[in-house]
Structure 1
Amino acid sequence: MIGRAVLLCLLIFLQYVSDAQPRREDIYSDFVLYKKRQLLLKDLHENVVAKAFLAPLDSNTEYKYEAACRAIVQFMLDNDTTQQGITQLFVQYDSLQYDTKRALLETVYGVYPEQYIQSIQLLLAKETNPMLFAIAAAYSLRYDSAVVNAATIKKRIREQFPNYSSNTLLAELDKYLNNYTHYKPPTTNDLIELFRYQQVVKKKVIYSFQRHSRDYGGLAIIQNADGSFMRTAEGRLLVFEQLARSASGLPYFIPDGNTPQGVYSIQGTAVTYNKLIGPTPNLQLIMPYERKWPAYFHAGDSTVWTPSSDMLWAYLQLLPPTMRTSAAVTEAFYAGKLGRNSIIAHGTTIDPEYFKNKPWYPLTPTMGCLCAKELWNVSNGRLLVSDQFNLVSAFTSTMGNKGYLYVIDIDDQKKTVSRLEVEKLVKEFEAKQVVHN
């Protein structure tokens, strides 16, 4: 059975243990075997959730309620028992520990987008913790995106947080309130300029193109250090399916929320023991503020790197001038400043059938990472399909294993990003390069 400690270990990224690239045929996970998946499903429903939520909620059982919430949102579990437990948590909200409150709100945001609006509105009127307030505010805004509601939330920020102007989290929430219904996607010219600007950055680059609604899958492509794009031997553009949605679907400025837009520094590859991520090599990414700036900028020894006093300015130099005024591209910068970390590009062993009725199926949401499509043979534990293995293999097939990864929401269409769309962008860029040269 999966107890609380084991479950939390599964839901937390563990140490990365290797920088070697294994052979595809050597990659194996017993976690994907049919019997293991069935036992996990049974354990989640009967023990992690049902036993926790059917017990009285008090200081001795609260940690079980927290673990149950984390399982519910990660695996999209919903039944009468889960709703009974959620309701009980709201009844006793004021007496809960911070971690339990946060797990509750993340679960409600991720699984029950409308059902608990009254409880959320009551909470908004009294919550004094900025993080919990921000999650509740995001829930309320999604339920009612009218200008009046956004103004009401802004008023509450001023009333309940006198020093809100100096709080980075509340500043991002305010930005989110302003931009929620005014999303402005990058233009085709912006994206072509981004491709062209890679020759200024002079690093290998991965672009992860996503929809503004992260309920839909995205596509990643690779641009070589010389400016060309990676293709098959037959000349077809290499594309890799990738989901930038978190299990909760919370905004970028909330820890474990959706993958923020912006620029990530690729630090190499690794393999993790985390059972939910699986043994396929991942791309190690760091965000602004996650490590020392020389590491982020691939500057080597800090003694020979002169940092700018304005780190936002330095960060924006990784983007073409036409994109630097967009608030969207600074999501990763401010999320990093808020303390988000451990966002990587990885595969998954989670059974996609948990999400069979979701628009991102068969991709897998995570705790805010970029998760590539992986399908496993449940009989022998071997890979059937792995866009993650293909992505890492392609990226490391040329000299060097470092560079940058750009997460960009290209528009707000309610459908998966298609190969045709990405190929069209690359073709326009290449056509203009020919004319320019």
Structure 2
Amino acid sequence: MKLLIPLSLLCCLSLHAQYSRDNIYSDFVLYNQRVKFDQYLREQTIKATFEKTLNSETEDYYREACWAVSQYVLQSPVVEKGLHNLFNGYNGLEPATKRALLEAAYASYPNIFYKEMTQLMQQETSPRFFAMQAVYLYRIDHSSKKTAALRQQLHSHFPGYDTLPVLKELDHYLLHHDSLAHAATPPLDVLFAQQKITGQKIIYSFQRWNRDYAGLAVIQNADGHFCRDTSGRLLVFRQLARSGSDLPYFITNGSTPQGIYSIQGTAVSHNNLIGPTPNIQLVMPFEADSVYWHHAVDSTKPALDNYLGILPASWQSYDPMTEAFYAGKIGRTEIIAHGTTIDPDYFKDKPYYPLTPTMGCLCAQENWNMFTGKINSSEQFNLVSTFLSTPGDTGYLMVININDLPQPVSREEIEQMVNAFEHNKKEAVSKGQPLFIFKGGFVHNGGE
């Protein structure tokens, strides 16, 4: 029984019309199915596996157990023992198992494997695994002294680190993450105004730097207006941009990178954990360059220049918006915006409850009826329906950390930003002053 199915194996049916909520059904959410799944997860996938001796015949089971630990952020004496067994046999493990182990340790045990990670870094030859070990230690102690020591170890251990995308991004992360998390974003009104350049629909997913706290998404239509309900109130959609591991953006299965994604339409997944609610298909830079762009770009320019060209000038030097670009260059793929059938009770003691983490996607809140298999409420369905309520099913999605407040992003925060933008825009038009875009914000007496 596979608990986790790679997104590349999903069979997705693309559709370009509104969906019917009444037709959405999942037997995976039924009470009896959840009980059986949980029992199998804990007793077979985890307990039975980690009680076995680690060897070539059991390694695959150990690896599968680690993926489950990461997805459900599980902790128990059995899990801890299993991870210790894997660390003790690290040198003999297959690369896929090493990766699963490091991810599970980062997800569920944020500090007890300090010694093991420190020792592994001395001999690690894999750039990716070195990066995973380094960020584990950085999370425990990101003082300037410890950070400098980690960077020195990186530079000496991999003299050509700046030619390896994952290590170059690791160095940038170690050097800048803490300061960026406390810095203000450039003006959001300028970003909203820039939409006029591409003329595309844009979904903005506003998040916290601490992804334990859920974010909110809003939709700006192709005509520049934000989607509102019949009473004129801004429509917002709760989204979690946290992966189970919560590894940094440049590590596969890490939390959702900030930056610009290309919307490629909508689809229905056959992955039990994602569920049958329509999802929004996204691609990252380098993942599918032939379809990424929805507006004219200069193919003679470097890819990064075209990517940054979607943003206003004041945002082009804001490094966090390049996370998706460099994560794509490193090899991250298959990040989409979807719903969830995972039982939220696995995370009832977490700040993001009742939302559920993913393997790096944007996950909207859903509540299922465990007796009928139908949806009680779905932020995901509402998001997709609203996006499709105007012509077209493509555009861009931007993930943006707005600040580091230790609380979920609130409706009031987003309404204040959007309402101020639309008020200024309306005022400019009423005065007969066309709204143009310039480095500092709005100008009303010049050209683009």
* TM above 0.5: yes
The residue number in structure 2 matching 1:317 is 309
Structure 1 stretches of 4+ with a deviation exceeding 2 A read: 6-13, 184-189, 434-437
5+ long unaligned stretches in structure 2: 430-448
Q: Write the deviation string for residues 260-316 of structure 1: whole angstroms up to 9, x where unpaired.
A: 0000010100001011000000001010111124x111259xxxx751331100000
Q: In the alignment, which of 333, 339, 354 is matched to residue 331 of structure 2? A: 339
Q: 1:157 aligns with which of 154, 158, 166?
A: 154
> What SS does the corresponding residue of 2:155 show, helix, strand or coil?
helix
1:250 aligns with 2:242: no
Give the counterpart of 2:376 among 365, 381, 384.
Answer: 384
Structure 2: distance between partners of 1:136 and 1:317: 35
Query: How far apart, in 1, do the equivalents of 2:272 and 2:48 lie?
Result: 23
Change beyond 3 A, Cα 1:325–1:155: same
Q: 2:62 aligns with which of 44, 60, 65?
A: 65
Equivalent AA in structure 1 for residue 13 of structure 2: V
Match status 1:216 vs 2:213: yes
The Cα shift of 1:126 comes to 1.5
One of 232, 236, 252 as aligned partner of 2:233: 236
TM-score (norm 2): 0.93
1:78 is aligned to 2:75: yes
Structure 2 CA distance for partners of 1:185 and 1:226, relative to 1, 3 Å: farther
Structure 1 match to 2:413:
421
Residue 7 of structure 1 pairs with residue 3 of structure 2: yes
Alignment of 1:326-405 (within 5 A): 326-405=318-397
Residues 28 and 341 in structure 2, CA contact (< 8 A), matched pair in contact too: yes
**Residue correspondence of structure 1 range 81-96 to structure 2 within 5 A:** 81-96=78-93
1: CA distance, partners of 2:321 / 2:7:
28
Q: Tell me the SS of whatever aligns to 1:371.
A: strand
Shift of 1:434: 2.5
Specify the alignment match of 2:47 in structure 1: 50
Q: 1:409 to 1:13 in 2, by over 3 A?
A: farther
Q: Distance in 2 between matches of 1:356 and 1:181?
A: 28
2:223 and 2:396 mapped to 1: Cα distance?
14
What secondary structure is seen at the aligned counterpart in 2 of 1:9?
coil
SS of the equivalent of 1:65 reads helix
Aligned pair in 2 of structure 1 residues 206, 395: CA closer, same or farther (>3 Å)? same
Residues 1:16 and 2:12 are matched in the alignment? yes
What is the rounded CA distance, in whole Å, between the counterparts of 2:309 and 2:77 in structure 1? 52
Aligned residues: 428
Q: 1:145 to 1:56 in 2, by over 3 A?
A: same
Write the letter of the residue equivalent to 1:330: T
The answer to whether residue 77 in structure 2 is matched with residue 113 in structure 1 is no
How far apart are residue 12 of structure 1 and its match? Answer: 6.5
Q: Could you give the per-residue CA deviations for residues 90-146 of structure 1, whole angstroms, max 9, x where no partner exists?
A: 111111111111100000101000111111111122211100010110110000011
**Amino acid corresponding to residue 3 of structure 2 in structure 1:** L
Matched, 1:181 2:178: yes
Displacement of 1:162 in angstroms is 2.3
Q: TM-score, normalised by structure 1?
A: 0.95
Displacement after TM superposition at 1:435 (Å):
3.1
Q: CA deviation at 1:187?
A: 4.6
Whole-angstrom CA distance in 2 between matches of 1:30 and 1:173:
42
The residue identity in structure 2 corresponding to 1:249 is D
Measured at CA, do residues 188 and 117 of structure 1 come closer, stay the same or move farther in structure 2, by a change above 3 Å?
Answer: closer
Matched, 1:203 2:195: no
Alpha-carbon offset, residue 73 of structure 1: 1.1
| Cα drift, residue 189 of structure 1 | 5.8
CA deviations on 1:162-194 (whole Å, 9 max, x unpaired) are 221211110100000011221256757621111
1:434 corresponds to 2:431:
no
Q: Is the 8 A contact 1:283 1:345 kept in 2?
A: yes
Tell me, in whole angstroms, the C-alpha distance in 1 between the residues paired with 2:62 and 2:414. Answer: 44
Q: Which amino acid aligns with 1:357?
A: D
Asked if residue 26 in structure 1 is aligned to residue 23 in structure 2, the reply is yes
- Native 8 Å contact 1:188 1:425 kept in 2: no
Identity value in percent? 48
Secondary structure of the residue that 2:363 maps to in structure 1? Answer: strand
Question: Contact 1:131–1:169 (CA<8 Å) still a contact in 2?
Answer: yes
Do the aligned residues in 1 keep the contact of 2:298 with 2:306 (CA within 8 Å)?
Answer: no
What amino acid is the match of 2:271? Answer: N
Does 1:139 find its partner at 2:136?
Answer: yes
Matched with 1:297 is 293
- 2:445 is aligned to none
Partner of 2:438: none
**Residue identity matched to 2:303:** M
Query: Which residue number in structure 1 is paired with residue 187 of structure 2?
Result: 190
Asked if structure 2 preserves the Cα contact closer than 8 Å seen for 1:308 and 1:314, the reply is no
Matched-pair contact (CA < 8 Å) for 2:186–2:315: no
Instruction: Go from structure 1 to structure 2 and tell me whether the alpha carbon gap of 1:195 and 1:186 turns closer, same or farther (over 3 Å shift).
Output: farther
